[in-house]
Structure 1
Amino acid sequence: MTADAAARSAGATVQDEVLRIVAARTLYDPAQLSLDSDLEGELGIDSIILESILGMLGEYFALDDLLPMGMTTIRELVAAVEAAVGERPEPPEAQAQAADDEWDSRSMKDFLEIRDSDLFAKARAFGAYRRRREQDRLYWYGMPMRSRSANRMRIYDEAEGRERDFLMFASNNYLGLAGHPKVVDAICDATRTYGATHTGSRIIGGTNELHKELERRLAAFKKRPACAVFPGGYSANLGVISGLVRADDALIIDKLNHMSIVDGCKLSGGVRKIFQHNDMADLERVLKHCEGRTLGKLIVVDGVFSMHGDICNLPDIVALARTYGARVLVDDAHATGVLGATGTGTAEHFGLKGQVDLELGTMSKTLAGMGGFVVGDEEVIEYLRFYANSYVFAANIPPGVAAGLIASLEVMESEPERLTRLWENIRTLRDLLTGAGFDLEHTESAILPIVVGDDRKAMEMGRAVRRRGLFCQTVVFPGVSLGDARLRVSVTSEHTPEDLQEAAGIFIEAGRETGVIPAPDAAVPA
């Protein structure tokens, strides 16, 4: 008899077991869990954690069908399990047979909670699923590029064993700096002077004069007193959040924040609170709930949401933070070089320079390099140099990369027409796609999401687009929630008017072929 079965036979109720499993997955003490606590807003249980809990409950109670995702409280979880208890589980051989069906309806989330004494069992199960998707040309991730990042690129199609030329709409090279001669020359010259790398962390043997110059340039660019550079944008969020927040503090995050923010929150050990996307009434509710229950409060939001393209409501966030004594961190990964009159990001876009406590970003997108950074008041930045573990204990970016980033900043400042051209292109393609009937949600950035919803239809549209010679990202879970699949289209300043017209034509043809948008009336000329 398993330990779980023994617990049930000892008289544990469904409610007891649901509380136990929720506590095990969230690290809360069962005594801290109220049946009516809001799963997201109060307990910080996002959709990924909830799916994990539902998987554990399904396996423990031997449920034949998956529990629904719409529940908002533990009481609803208990009621759903009680209603489903007594049904027999699907035999493992039936699950394996799904891979041989005409269409395998499983998603990537189904492999997260496979229970087996061999930790690699989930990898084998996913491997068979992935290979089937690749054979059907539905998964096309990680294909190697054989040219510079530009509006048109050469990619080696591993499925067909040949090179192919594509219109590129999957690049975050928003201002076209990745191939700029000044940037490339700066990287080459500095590498010849200083070598490949210094093989050390920023505070122990890994600091070059170029690193300090880069931090000065970034602080000046963002119009903030000080800057610290991290090895990556992901590690910047991990280090800054976990370096500032402790167990008695609250982290208050938008439901659609990037995974690096979510992981930074988990690493910090702080109390994580989630508010509904861009919902200021819900943010205020969470802030009120934290009063008297936590010490410090840090609101963390994306400036531009990477899979949706819309912008955070920064003015109201800053106002609420002041009212409730919270600090604000904005991740400008997809806003730097895109938003604001000079491209400095979300704070400039809203006229709030100097009113946001911390502005964070990555240098692997517009800035055409590698690394991450955070800017803010000097005392805070200097504190993070000693308490952000991903800064202290990680090797620094190579000096050649730092030189290239400095050159990118110089080009941005000396060639403002790149930003103007980017926005002309964004408006042109956005109008062409919305005019054709595509749902682009509320995008206000260089990211245009073509919302499809169904995973299968989104993957089939992605395949139809690639077949016509255009490459963009097909995004399914875990990039977005189940039922929210989409194509993610990235616009750059390097796209020509001809590129945009051709791209729109490809998306329209593929959308009609797959039923994402309706075909025109046969009587109406194309």
Structure 2
Amino acid sequence: MNAAHHDIAATVRAVVQKHSQYADEALQDHALLQEDLGIDSIMLAGIVSELNSLLQTRVSVSPGDSDTLVSLSARFAAQLPAQAPVQQPPSADPAALARAAVAAAAAFSAPALATADSSSSTGSTGSKTTMRDFVGNGTDPDIFTKTRRFQRFQRERAEQGHFWYGMASRGRSSNRARIFDRHEGREREFLLFASNNYLGLANDERVLDAIQQASREYGATNTGSRLIAGTTEVHQVLERKLAQLKGREDCLVFPSGYSANLGTIAALVGPGDQVIGDVYNHMSIQDGCKLSGATRRLYPHNDMQALEDMLARHEDQSGGRLIVADGVFSMHGDIVHLPELLKLAQRYQARVLIDEAHSTGVLGTTGSGTTEHFQLKGRVDLEVGTMSKALGGQGGFVVGDAEVIDYLRYYANSYVFAATIPAPVAAGLNASLDIMAAEPERLARLWSNIDYLKASLDRLGFDTEQSNSAIIPVRIGDETLAMNMGRSLRRRGLYCQTVVFPGVAVGDARLRISVLESHTRQDLDQALDMLLAAAQENRLPLHEALAA
């Protein structure tokens, strides 16, 4: 390695350190970026963006392409001219490294890095521009530069009929919804397969009556945090009902499911601890892990052997261990391998947190969630969830042993320093929990619809991966093809989610279909017809053996 390439290795190290916030000694040359350092696809995109800007290179890196600092440095060094000037290794100070890298880039006289500034659909690598190209800021002194570039990209996509995010619905949404179509400039009725109102509780008149009655009694909101003046009897009843549903001693209600993960994880682990998560975990989990300051590690999706190898490799590290995973993975619809995960946690003395956002109200004989699904109720240390999906309300929660929950009441910052859900919302949730318990037929209808639609999609040749929940993905891969499929479906009157980066990694784009108990068999058959027509229109490859 010549001196110039040594400079590149030092610069790569400094940029990784800046984005990951790890101490220098934690960044060993052969540490695995994902498994050992917990660098997810979004963080990696920011690192690569900044390095391309500093070094005037055009390197494209996807998760798994460069698994160590050494291999990442090699990818950038490979694009440097052979006659790169020899320099002394720069200072270990990140700012000095950045200055040295800029100076070296000027000396290399590399071609200017193409950006997404133009209205072209191609990005810096010659491939199509994606949402990933707007992560990070490089060395630009104006942090708003990326927002201007993104605005042009967004406007172009909207003109193509691809960006439908944030369309406003009008009135209640159930199996169908009235949505204002900005692209056509008119209100339209859609078959709705983008809602998380799995059990239809958000529209139940008894829930709405409970909300109305509580609003008269308690007012619109609480005007205070729970520890000061924001707790009502309605909140305490809700926490008791959730603890009972989950079979745990106690519960704490947060303003949202996102804040429940942030507050719980950051309160329980910190510098010196390890937090270990599935690479497909929800962003709220990943952000909670970053906020905690603990050493972050990621294992390949649902790969229990990789998880065991990781736990064994770092078994001698001092501090605590927390394994975190979704119960149902929100963009893939499959279920965590909980029995195997719990065995590993016990073997390696780790605690376990499972996010029940898409499991509560869906999995288990009573809708209790993942633990009930596996007949392991009460065996997971902590279960976090949201009440904005199957329960038809708003807010998040965590359940567990009473002493742990009591600790979180004083140390989970997103609980202590935030106003919680209004009492009327809590009253509606209490009603939802009562209805869910009294009417198990709602869950039976939901699963009848899930089984019918999933089997039909598989028979037609769509790639629905290993989905086993109310979330059924249709994996497409290419982002543009996925956008075109979404546009074709909306034109036909079906509204589902088109998921691209950062919801999934680049190259893993998909449609995300959410099944509801309120869908009729006619709704499901119409959706199947629309999906097949859109696939034929866009020449989406289907599994021929199944499609035949």
TM range (shorter): over 0.9
Matched, 1:74 2:74: no
Aligned to 1:119: 143
Q: 1:455-493 CA distances to partner (integer Å, 9 max, x unpaired)? A: 000000000000000100000000000000000000010
**Aligned match of 2:308 in 271, 284, 308?**
284
Aligned residue number for residue 291 of structure 2: 267
User: 1:472 aligns to what SS in structure 2?
Assistant: strand
1:407-455 deviations in Å (ceiling 9; x for gaps):
0001101110000010000011111111111000000000000000000
Partner residue in 1 for 2:164: 140
1:99 maps onto 2:99 in alignment: no
Amino acid at match of 2:255: P
Q: The residue matched to 1:379 in structure 2 has which SS?
A: helix
Distance in 2 (alpha carbons) for counterparts of 1:500 and 1:43: 43
Which secondary structure does the structure 1 equivalent of 2:418 belong to?
Answer: coil
- Whether the aligned pair in 2 keeps the contact of 1:64 and 1:90 (CA below 8 Å) is no
Matches within 5 A, 1:360-375: 360-375=384-399
Letter in 2 for 1:73: T
Who is 2:457 aligned against? 433
The reply to whether residue 421 of structure 1 matches residue 445 of structure 2 is yes
Distance 1:295 1:499, change over 3 A: same
Secondary structure class of the residue paired with 1:308: coil
- Structure 1, residues 9-54: CA drift from partner, whole Å, max 9, x if none? 9996222222222222212233332221111111111222222222
Which deviates the most, 471-480 or 510-519?
A: 510-519
Taking the aligned partners of 2:174 and 2:62, their CA distance within structure 1 comes to 43
**In 2, Cα distance between the equivalents of 1:481 and 1:221?**
35
CA RMSD of aligned residues (A): 2.2
Query: Aligned partners of 2:187 and 2:141: how far apart in 1?
Result: 42
Question: Conserved in 2, the CA contact under 8 Å of 1:58 and 1:67?
Answer: no
The number of residue pairs the alignment matches comes to: 516
Contact residue 98 and residue 104 of structure 1 kept, 8 A: no
How much does 1:59 deviate? 1.8
Q: TM-score, normalised by structure 1?
A: 0.94
Deviates more, 1:433-442 or 1:53-62: 53-62
- 209-218 or 56-65: bigger deviation: 56-65
CA contact 2:59–2:75 (8 Å) conserved in 1:
no
- Aligned CA distance change for structure 1 residues 261 and 186 (closer, same or farther; 3 Å): same
Equivalences for residues 306-455 of structure 1 within 5 A: 306-455=330-479
2:37 to 43, 48, 65: 43
Partner of 2:198: 174
For 2:415 and 2:378, locate their aligned partners in 1 and report how far apart those are by CA, in whole Å: 24
DSSP 3-state at the match of 1:84: coil
| Pair 1:519–1:261, CA change in 2 (3 A) | closer
Task: Tell whether the 8 Å contact from 1:303 to 1:335 is kept in structure 2 after alignment.
Answer: yes
Gap regions ≥5 residues in structure 2:
82-107
Unpaired runs of at least 5, structure 1: 1-7
* CA deviation string 1:302-339 (max 9, x = no partner): 00000000000000111111111100000000000000
8 Å CA contact 2:355–2:383 kept in 1: the answer is yes
User: Identity of paired residues, percent?
Assistant: 51
Q: Give the secondary structure class of the aligned counterpart of 2:473.
A: strand
TM-score (norm 2): 0.91
- 1:243 and 2:267 correspond: yes
**Counterpart of 1:34?**
28
CA distance in 2, matches of 1:92, 1:18: 18
Q: Secondary structure at the match of 2:506?
A: coil
Give 1:76's aligned amino acid: S
Cα deviation, residue 94, structure 1:
6.5
For the residues of structure 1 that align with 2:17 and 2:121, how far apart are their CA atoms? Answer: 37
Offset, 1:159 = 2.2
